[in-house]
């Protein structure tokens, strides 16, 4: 599937991390989503009903990301993938990248994070 919907740089404040301060204060995470699905019907019809709105993607992803505290961003990203696949049956594949630019690491770095890619099973 070569059709894709994407959201880049979604900023979500959450309390993920292994440190006590991360759980208490939280921090900003940046989330990128790439959704693979057929956009053929939407391209022909010009109707929102034939696609997924950016607003709906962002709402579901943000709510899933903040729903509970995760010690690992891998787990938080997995929760977002599960929520999106459950809510939008037309999704074939998801790639999510979670950036943690303010991770409490004793080093100078531009960014750290994880990327998960999952396909719908069945």
Options 4, 93, 100, 119, the catalytic residue: 100
100 catalytic per annotation: yes
Neighbours of 92 (CB within 10 A): 13
C-alpha dihedral (80, 83, 84, 87), degrees to nearest 10:
-160
d(C-alpha 99, C-alpha 37), whole Å: 24
d(C-alpha 55, C-alpha 73), whole Å: 23
Q: Which residues are catalytic?
A: 100
């Amino acid at each position: 599937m070569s059709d894709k919907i994407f959201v880049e740089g979604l900023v979500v404040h959450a309390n993920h991390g292994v440190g006590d301060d991360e759980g208490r204060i939280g921090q900003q995470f940046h989330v990128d989503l790439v959704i693979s699905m057929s956009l053929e019907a939407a391209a022909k019809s010009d109707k929102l009903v034939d696609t997924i709105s950016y607003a709906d993607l962002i709402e579901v992803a943000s709510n899933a990301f903040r729903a509970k505290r995760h010690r690992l961003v891998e787990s938080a990203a997995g929760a977002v993938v599960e929520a999106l696949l459950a809510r939008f049956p037309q999704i074939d594949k998801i790639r999510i990248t979670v950036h943690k630019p303010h991770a409490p690491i004793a080093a100078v770095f531009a960014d750290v994070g994880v990327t998960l890619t999952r396909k719908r099973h069945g």
